[in-house]
Amino acid sequence: MLSRGDGGLEKHVAELANALSEVCQLTVIADPKYKDSYSPAVDFKPVNARLGRMNLKLAWQLKNIVDEVQPDIIHAHAGKAACLVALIKPFVSAKLVVTRHNTTNPSAFYLKRFDARIAVSHKVAASEPRVNWHVVENGTHPLQASSPAIQLERPAIVTVGRLVKIKCLDHVLTAWDNPEAHLYIIGDGPERSSLEQQVKNAKLTNVHFVGFTDKVGDYLTQADMMLMPSLKEGAPYAMVEALLAEVPVICTDVGNARALLPEQAIIEKESPSAIKASIDRCLDSPEDFKAEFEGSFAYARENLTLEKMLEKTYDVYKSL
């Protein structure tokens, strides 16, 4: 993994690697900032991930690590790692696996150079039909509440994610007209001050900016509903975590939302009126609203766990 972000990709690789290290010898090559994310059983090799995807110095460093470790399989995650692994392919004997975490990268030019390709959703796989795919959906452990847990005011509606324009949280605030409910905005980012000003200008009540927290489990285990009105998503972990916590999710038609949620949970993009209608539906009849998601909750319990992601990934390795 050669990214430097703090999102779903990094969570995916860390949780998968830590689980794999219990069943095989595993080395992770990544930026040193991620070292503490991995268990002692993982052989962590730091590299400077600030270097570009065509940087020959970084490619040579990767080759030297591969020569030292002599792996049976090299598993690249996302576009940059795929590009660099493809560069060193003529110099290594290992089988090559790549995971595509979105619908655009890596491109078919690089994908064809791998022995196996994993997509994190059926939508990601369908976005590039020129190659064969294994679909291994993002899975994780259900979040647990801390002890003692933060106590929320109820009814509680949550959003989870970076506060950036693409998340469209300004539309949530435009739709917010529910003095009997509480909105918890979890996460931080460059749009926070603008959103706080919007709350102030509109004199909205019961809107709580939580910021970054490692106690998301406290919120999800008490939430009545999650809102995800984004313009773009891949296979968001926030949705997986919400469904594992049996929290209904209202989402725009992005990423793998349509595959995981009931039809009535998919709303129009950039539509405060659609957001408001969903909030009202939840508050008017919370038990009936939650019942609409029973199929989604059951699917998550069966297919969106870390154990299932580990099992299906290891099956790909064994097929090589």
Can you state the angle between helices 237-244 and 294-303, rounded to 10 degrees? Answer: 110
For 242-281, how does the pLDDT look when each residue is reduced to its tens digit (9 = 90+)?
999 999 999 999 888 999 999 999 999 999 999 999 999 9
74 forms beta bridges with 96
Percent of the chain whose predicted confidence (pLDDT) is above 90: 90
**How many structural domains does the chain have?**
2
Position 160 in a domain: yes
10-36 burial code (b ≥16 CB/10 A, e <16): bebbbbbbbbbbeeeebbbbbbeebee
Position 163 in a domain: yes
In this predicted structure, the answer to whether residue 174 has a pLDDT above a threshold of 90 is yes
Residue entry with tokens 């793998």:
256
In this predicted structure, the answer to whether residue 8 has a pLDDT above a threshold of 90 is no
Position 132 in a domain: yes
| Range in 33-37, 145-149, 182-186, 205-209 the model is least confident about | 145-149
pLDDT (mean) for 134-160: 94
Same domain, 187 and 276: yes
Domain that residue 222 falls in: 156-303
Same domain, 27 and 45: yes
pLDDT (mean) for 294-312: 97
CATH number for 197? 3.40.50.2000
Quote the pLDDT of residue 103. Answer: 86
Quote the pLDDT of residue 255. Answer: 85
Position 258 in a domain: yes
pLDDT classification of 233: cutoffs 50, 70, 90: confident
Position 151 in a domain: no
Same domain, 81 and 217: no
Ordered alpha helix ranges (H), 134-182: 169-175
Average confidence score pLDDT of the chain: 95
In this predicted structure, the answer to whether residue 1 has a pLDDT above a threshold of 90 is no
Same domain, 311 and 295: no
DSSP for 70-136? --SEEEEEHHHHHHHHHHHGGG--SEEEEEE-SSSSS-HHHHTTSSEEEESSHHHHHT-TTS--EE-
By the 10 Å C-beta count (0-12 exposed, 13-18 middle, 19+ buried), 170 is classed as middle
In this predicted structure, the answer to whether residue 234 has a pLDDT above a threshold of 90 is no
In this predicted structure, the answer to whether residue 64 has a pLDDT above a threshold of 90 is yes
Position 150 in a domain: no
pLDDT classification of 53: cutoffs 50, 70, 90: confident
pLDDT classification of 94: cutoffs 50, 70, 90: very high
Same domain, 19 and 102: yes
Position 148 in a domain: no
Same domain, 174 and 236: yes
In this predicted structure, the answer to whether residue 5 has a pLDDT above a threshold of 90 is no
Neighbours of 160 (CB within 10 A): 24
